[in-house]
Amino acid sequence: MSEVTADTVGSIGPAEVPEVELYHAHTWLTKYVFCQDAKVIAIQYSLTAMAIGLVALVLSWLMRLQLAFPGEFSLIQSDNYYQFITMHGMIMVIYLLTALFLGGFGNYLIPLMVGARDMAFPYVNMLSYWVYLLAVLILVAGFFAPGGPTGAGWTLYPPQAILSGTPGHEWGIILMMASLILFIIGFTMGGLNYVVTVLQCRTRGMTLMRLPLTVWGIFTATVMALLAFPALFVGCVMMTLDRMLGTSFFMPSIVELGQQLTYSGGSPILFQHLFWFFGHPEVYIVALPAFGIVSDLISTHARKNIFGYRMMVWAIVGIGALSFIVWAHHMYISGMDPYFGFFFATTTLIIAVPTAIKVYNWVLTLWRGDIHLTVPMLFALAFIVTFVNGGLTGLFLGNVVVDVPLSATLFVVAHFHMVMGVAPIMTVFGGIYHWYPKVTGRMLNETLGRVHFWVTFVGAYAIFFPMHYLGLLGVPRRYYELGDTAFIPASAATLNVFITVAALIVGAAQLVFLFNLFWSLSRGKESGPNPWRATTLEWQTPQTPPGHGNWGKDLPIVYRWPYDYSVPGAEQDFIPQNQPAFAKVG
Amino acid sequence: MPIVIALVLIAVGSVAFHLWNPWWLTPIASNWQYIDATIAITFWITGVVFTAVILFMAYCVFRFRHIPGRQAAYEPENKKLEWWLAIVTGVGVAAMLTPGLFVWSQFVTVPANATEFEAVGQQWNWAFRLPGKSGRLGTSDVKYISSDNPLGVNPNDPNGKDNIVIVGDDLHLPVGKPVKVLLRSVDVVHDFYVPEFRAKMDLMPGMVTRFWFTPIRTGEFEILCAGFCGVGHPQMRGKVVVDTESDYQTWLGKQQTFAQLSTPAK
């Protein structure tokens, strides 16, 4: 039976479980600090993630300064360069993007979009944020530890990660392991909340196939996280044991700078399998919420239902499932049995099909739409451009033999920044400009938003598109200086300078965004409850920002899917999900 | 309208940049031209898709921008179009995967007439070992490493005695002959990477990894390490010199064997 018809009233089943009484906070500490309201937790996650993300952004400027002007800055040497790239990568992937999409957007939007009062386990949800914050603090402690943070690369490959040739091998690597382990514990606590809330706490009439794609994206990503993070967890535990107790999980017989070490029998490639079994789903854990959010941004701002909603849901679930059987495309030249290459290249290129379908459906939503070029829409369009670019370069790397010359070059760095850095960040910004009025009751400043958009979009493209060609040339990654390398022409150095200048300009533009974020809190135009005239439930709350318990006395009842935009014959160009019938015109 | 112009410029500009930028694959010096050909096919397919999607987007944003009175269409799905697009995508993916896997099957199949040499990596330099007149490399182990046995060749293995050991010097190879590279690390992960040869492979401590190639022109080629191995990673360089057959024999004649190196000169 299709859910995707214009006016579905039908019969709404009774509530399956009685309403649970929420914890009502009375002290300042329990209202604003140890708060169990998912909306407050969401803001805590988001602000923490953005703060640590700014640290990672600054680190990227230092890296770019070294690459453009090698040797010019006495403060940037080989060991701290590697510490910068490691912390930059780990923070951006895990502590910013994963935390922001799941802990930030997930906590705020899931209960509201499914019509619940809060998450299923509010106390555990509250604890999850504090575990995350502790994980962040331990990570940051690395900067102050003797020897500094680890410089092993975000991939942390043994044996080098725990040996003396790598910076931070004394304390930094241990702090990194502890931080990751805590992060995973915190995210299991949060993740169980997101999954159970979507499955069990949907309001009456909210079937799975009436969920907004934002929820599908975050939900699927969370299921994947619960299945993938354990691989990283055990890898970290084993590496910590190798480092602290001298076990040999990942350590074969080694002569390190002339000294025979006492390790023997371990397998460094085992770590790579464990890491990438986590690591590949991880990049989709970052991408799927972005996919969901961008679908909702495009449909709302183009006043048109998302094209092919059912295929979009299947594509999200399919991509999530397939992402668990492609991991060794990160290991094509690791020395693993080369026959694995046939299998993983095939699965990797297969995953391109549902991904492409999603791209076509976004673009087909624009087709015959009524496109309002608001700031969220601009960022959504920027997402499509950068995601298509980054996704297509993935086809080069996924095709095993093409990966042979390109892996470990700047082609890979350009690819993953474009597809996982630039594209999802476009949806983060789009989502913030879109939902800020819900969270604060005010609009972000339009002019500042456009300035932020143009510099960020064009600038980020200018940083990473040309970088692919340095990789094609053969310029390796993780080189803090190229030195005198015969096959690299002088023009490559010029391009490095150009990329650095672009990066610094894009970095500066983020200050405009930060200013806007805080300035609009008190000076932004008042938005009213539904400034974008959107259909999804979060915009239909009785108060804006929503009060504790979200819905006042009565939970909403859902009668339709989330994409009743521009329904023929309807009075308005949108019908909220909780509106039973629409008055026909004419 | 700025965004429409930006989208068109990005599509057109990216193609123009691709065609006219000075950075392309370093001129190839090995038999792996098929890799370059697969890269070219992939650029064609992805280039067409990228340009088509972005230009179509630009058209949609222009044609369907909001003006007073416009109403969007209401079209939840179109099964026929969605299946057609999925099938076309599948064909495009197969068009890239098929040549790619064909070349990969060549990559994993070492020619029977390939000679061997071993590249040994450590933080932060390269060393090499060639089979001597017996044609076989002796076994090795990290536990045998010492100052006069830097590569850890097994002193009890008779096959190792005539192995040619090259430490702190260039490797030479004869042009036109397929060669299987055995890779061994005594400490951490490294990668033996010569951009002109295209083929490369990680050195994984605890195991011997391998790949093969045939040098097709003479010249000097720099070896870079392409597996992050600590602070000396960018300085871990070596050199491969591809010689004519006669130059190669001359060079070979001058090299020292393991037996000579590990016996102190009288």
Nearest CA in chain B to A260: B143
Beta partners for residue B210, in sequence order:
B182
Question: Is the residue at A4 inside a domain?
Answer: no
Q: Give the rounded percent of residues in chain A with a pLDDT score beyond 90.
A: 91
Taking an 8 Å cut-off on Cβ atoms, the answer to whether B97 and A385 are in contact is: no
Token pair recorded at residue A64: 């770019």
Name which of B14, B21, B7, B22 is nearest B46 in CA terms.
Answer: B14
The answer to whether B260 and B163 are in contact (CB under 8 A) is no
What is the rounded CA–CA span in Å between residue B218 and residue A23?
77
Count of CB atoms within 10 A of residue B145's CB? 20
Taking an 8 Å cut-off on Cβ atoms, the answer to whether A402 and B17 are in contact is: no
Angle, CA B165 vertex, CA B159 and CA B171 arms, to 5°? 125
- Token pair 């222009």 is at which residue? B62
Q: Return the sign of the alpha-carbon dihedral for residues A342, A345, A348, A353.
A: negative
Instruction: Report how far apart, in Å, the C-alpha atoms of A40 and of each of A23, A47, A430, B104 are.
Output: 14, 11, 21, 52
Tell me which DSSP letter residue A535 carries: -
Per-residue pLDDT band at B261 (split at 50, 70, 90): confident
CA torsion, points B245, B247, B248, B252, in degrees to nearest 10? 140
Tell me: the pLDDT tens digits for A297-318?
999 999 999 999 999 999 999 9
Per-residue pLDDT band at A7 (split at 50, 70, 90): very low
Question: Is the residue at A17 inside a domain?
Answer: no
Q: Give the rounded percent of residues in chain A with a pLDDT score beyond 70.
A: 97
Question: Is the residue at A401 inside a domain?
Answer: yes
Tell me: the pLDDT tens digits for A348-369?
999 999 999 999 999 999 999 9
Question: Is the residue at A141 inside a domain?
Answer: yes
Given a cut of 80, whether residue A2 has pLDDT beyond it is no
Token pair recorded at residue B117: 């040499």
Q: What is the 3-state secondary structure (H, E, C) of A540-576?
A: HCCCCCCCCCCCCCCCCCCCCCCCCECCCCECCCECC
By the 10 Å C-beta count (0-12 exposed, 13-18 middle, 19+ buried), A208 is classed as middle
Q: Are strands B179-185 and B115-122 parallel, antiparallel or unpaired?
A: parallel
Token pair recorded at residue A6: 């214009």
Question: Is the residue at A545 inside a domain?
Answer: no
Residues 6+ away with beta carbon under 8 Å from B89: A352, A353, A356, A357
Taking an 8 Å cut-off on Cβ atoms, the answer to whether A370 and B66 are in contact is: yes
Tell me: the pLDDT tens digits for A99-125?
999 999 999 999 999 999 999 999 999
- Token pair 């024999």 is at which residue? B249
Given a cut of 90, whether residue A36 has pLDDT beyond it is yes
Q: Which residues of A441-476 are buried (b: 16+ CB within 10 A; e: fewer)?
A: bbbbbeebbeebbbbbbbbbbbbbbbbbbbbbbbbb
Per-residue pLDDT band at A584 (split at 50, 70, 90): low
Given a cut of 90, whether residue A294 has pLDDT beyond it is yes
The answer to whether A377 and A431 are in contact (CB under 8 A) is no
Question: Is the residue at A31 inside a domain?
Answer: no
Task: Tell me how many domains chain A contains.
Answer: 1
Tell me: the pLDDT tens digits for B137-164?
999 999 999 988 999 999 999 999 999 9
Count of CB atoms within 10 A of residue A83's CB? 24
The answer to whether A111 and A118 are in contact (CB under 8 A) is yes
Count of CB atoms within 10 A of residue A185's CB? 17
Name which of A77, A152, A334 is nearest B230 in CA terms.
Answer: A152
Tell me: the pLDDT tens digits for A439-454?
999 999 999 999 999 9
**Domain at A186, CATH number:** 1.20.210.10
Q: What is the pLDDT of residue A405?
A: 97
Beta partners for residue B257, in sequence order:
B164
The answer to whether A120 and A163 are in contact (CB under 8 A) is no
Nearest CA in chain B to A342: B101
Given a cut of 50, whether residue B76 has pLDDT beyond it is yes
Taking an 8 Å cut-off on Cβ atoms, the answer to whether B73 and A369 are in contact is: yes
By the 10 Å C-beta count (0-12 exposed, 13-18 middle, 19+ buried), A259 is classed as exposed
Q: In what order do the strands lie in the sheet with B190-193?
A: B171-174, B237-243, B219-225, B190-193, B200-203
Beta strands in chain B (DSSP E): 115-122, 125-130, 164-167, 171-174, 179-185, 190-193, 200-203, 209-213, 219-225, 237-243
Give the one of B26, B104, B228 whose C-beta lies nearest to A401's C-beta: B104
Q: What is the pLDDT of residue A3?
A: 43
Name which of B250, B115, B238 is nearest B167 in CA terms.
Answer: B238
Question: Is the residue at A582 inside a domain?
Answer: no
Residues of B in contact with A399 (CB under 8 A): 38, 42, 96-97, 100
The amino acid present at A357, given as its one-letter code, is: I
Residues of A in contact with B233 (CB under 8 A): 478-479
Residues of A in contact with B57 (CB under 8 A): 363, 366, 381, 384-385
Mean pLDDT, to the nearest integer, of A431-441?
98
Taking an 8 Å cut-off on Cβ atoms, the answer to whether A269 and B46 are in contact is: no
Q: What is the pLDDT of residue A4?
A: 46
Instruction: Provide the domain limits for residue A109.
Output: 36-252+267-540
Tell me: the pLDDT tens digits for B205-228?
999 999 999 999 999 999 999 999
- CA A324 from chain centre, in angstroms, equals 17
Taking an 8 Å cut-off on Cβ atoms, the answer to whether B71 and A370 are in contact is: yes
* Backbone dihedral region for residue A95 (phi beyond 0: left; psi -120 to 50: alpha; all else: beta): alpha
Given a cut of 50, whether residue A70 has pLDDT beyond it is yes
Q: What is the pLDDT of residue A484?
A: 87
Taking an 8 Å cut-off on Cβ atoms, the answer to whether A388 and B50 are in contact is: yes
Q: Are strands B171-174 and B237-243 parallel, antiparallel or unpaired?
A: parallel
Give the one of A268, A472, A485 whose C-beta lies nearest to B23's C-beta: A472
The answer to whether A359 and A387 are in contact (CB under 8 A) is yes
Instruction: Report how far apart, in Å, the C-alpha atoms of B79 and of each of A210, A309, A524, B144 are.
Output: 19, 11, 44, 67
Residues of A in contact with B76 (CB under 8 A): 4-5, 305, 307-309, 563
Given a cut of 90, whether residue A214 has pLDDT beyond it is yes
Residues 6+ away with beta carbon under 8 Å from A178: A138, A240
Residues of B in contact with A565 (CB under 8 A): 72, 74
Tell me: the pLDDT tens digits for B168-209?
999 999 999 999 999 999 999 999 999 999 999 999 999 999
- For chain B, domains (ranges, CATH) are 2-67+77-107 (no CATH), 115-262 (2.60.40.420)
State how far residue B262 is from chain A, nearest Cα, in angstroms. Answer: 17
User: Which of B62, B182, B189, B208 should be substituted to probe chain A, the one whose Cβ sees the most A Cβ atoms within 10 Å?
Assistant: B189
Taking an 8 Å cut-off on Cβ atoms, the answer to whether A470 and B23 are in contact is: yes
Mean pLDDT, to the nearest integer, of A567-586?
82
Token pair recorded at residue A128: 């999850």
Average pLDDT in chain A: 95
Per-residue pLDDT band at A10 (split at 50, 70, 90): low
Q: What is the 3-state secondary structure (H, E, C) of A205-272?
A: CCCHHHCCHHHHHHHHHHHHHHHHHHHHHHHHHHHHHHHHHCCCCCCCCCEECCEECCCCCCCHHHHH
What is the rounded CA–CA span in Å between residue B127 and residue B147?
14
Q: What is the pLDDT of residue A383?
A: 98
- ipTM value: 0.96
Q: Return the sign of the alpha-carbon dihedral for residues A31, A37, A38, A39.
A: negative
What is the rounded CA–CA span in Å between residue A175 and residue A167?
13
Question: Is the residue at A498 inside a domain?
Answer: yes
What is the rounded CA–CA span in Å between residue B47 and residue B196?
25
Angle, CA B67 vertex, CA B63 and CA B73 arms, to 5°? 65
